[in-house]
Amino acid sequence: MPRLADHIPAVPPSGIRRLFEIALRLDGVTLLAVGEPDVAVAPHIIEAARAAWAADDTGYGPNGGLMELRRAIVAKLARDNGFRADVEQVWVTVGATQALYQAMTLTLGPDDEVLLPDPGYTTFTMNARMIGAVPVPYTLRAENGFLPDLDELERIITDRTRAIIVNSPSNPLGIVLPRPMLERLLDFARRHDLWIISDEVYECFTYGRPHVSLAALAQEAGHDDDRVFSVFSLSKTYAMTGVRVGYLVTPPGLTSTMVTVQEASISCVATPDQRAALAALTGPQDAVVDAAAHYLSNLRLATALLDERGLRFREPEGAFYLWIDVSHASDGDVASWAESFLLETLVAVAPGSAFGRTGEGWIRVCLAADPADLEHGLRALPAPIAAASA
């Protein structure tokens, strides 16, 4: 057999997927490891997809997406995110995963460096390695409130650094970066002439601190959005993860380039899926409001229970995850501990080390769950000795 490309072995497997595959082989698992909404898709979205299939609306579409959908996204960006975008800056993608990959493909070449959060979404590192680029983690430490350390960023940047990934609201930590921090990151990128890839997938789920789009801050500062790639998705917001529709908002002036890379990578997103996305964006938003209320209710349930049991955690400002400290039980190898915990208790949680080295000793628990399942899973976690004996 001929050998594979040299860079492929460097692409790390997903630690979350490994645990998920084990869970699928077991019966009666309480699954809190995967970021999957547990609410139903709104009926009008399902009907739009059904109608597209029934009408045989299944042909090729434009590389950038259906024009009606792109216009609806432009309106949404102005209304909800506070920034202007031309329709030619909006590109419908196969989920946010492709949007991230597209942005990284456009900005990074072999051996270029990209700064990315640690702990951070696993696909950031996987994408960088797929391209042959070098992921350089910037650490989000508990003692710093899990916020980026600007001094560290200045230390780790090199003449090969081309981009920085910013994720707010964040997966796995649930951080919503404060506006002053976003402004400092924008200034950092501008001083060092870096691209910014802004992952805003969880924009609709925040708890107290409002989400701010980096492109909006760039426009407010008079820089337009000439270095910001903004990544969005309908998967989490509308509970349609398997439909695979996201979108990438590029800096101005990349139309011909984007046509080429879209044609080379996907040609276009499936038309019935785009019809469903259009219905999601332009139809009633009650289901989104209800989902946010459900996640907030689960968050309150979970934090009360963790406090009661003496478990340390980071209370999120956004997304639908809890970041919980199990270092008292994991003995320096939280990935192995999570597998043993799954086999012993039939409760699946995501090991923090799957999100980077700084995640060692922590786990991520998904709040998108039935409250009874969430309570069962959290009660199965081992409490610290002092709390257990109190």
Question: In the predicted model, what is the mean pLDDT of residues 186-194?
Answer: 97
In the block, tokens 């609410």 appear at 39
Residue 225: predicted pLDDT: 64
pLDDT higher than threshold 90 for residue 264: yes
pLDDT higher than threshold 60 for residue 42: yes
Distances 40 to 44, 181, 297 between C-alpha atoms, Å: 12, 35, 17
CB distance 165 to 148 below 8 Å: no
Residue 78: predicted pLDDT: 99
Q: What is the pLDDT of residues 349-369, one digit of tens each?
A: 999 999 999 999 999 999 999
Residue 386: predicted pLDDT: 62
Q: What is the pLDDT of residues 300-358, one digit of tens each?
A: 999 999 999 999 999 999 999 999 999 999 999 999 999 999 999 999 999 999 999 99
pLDDT band for position 260 (cuts 50, 70, 90) = very high
User: Looking at the chain, which residues constitute the CATH 3.90.1150.10 domain(s)?
Assistant: 8-41+286-385
Q: What is the pLDDT of residues 75-94, one digit of tens each?
A: 999 999 999 999 999 999 99
pLDDT band for position 387 (cuts 50, 70, 90) = low
- The mean-pLDDT minimum among 161-175, 214-228, 261-275 falls in 214-228
pLDDT higher than threshold 70 for residue 390: no
pTM: 0.96
Report whether CATH 3.40.640.10 matches the domain 44-282: yes
User: Looking at the chain, which residues constitute the CATH 3.40.640.10 domain(s)?
Assistant: 44-282
- Please give the CATH superfamily to which domain 8-41+286-385 belongs: Aspartate Aminotransferase, domain 1 (3.90.1150.10)
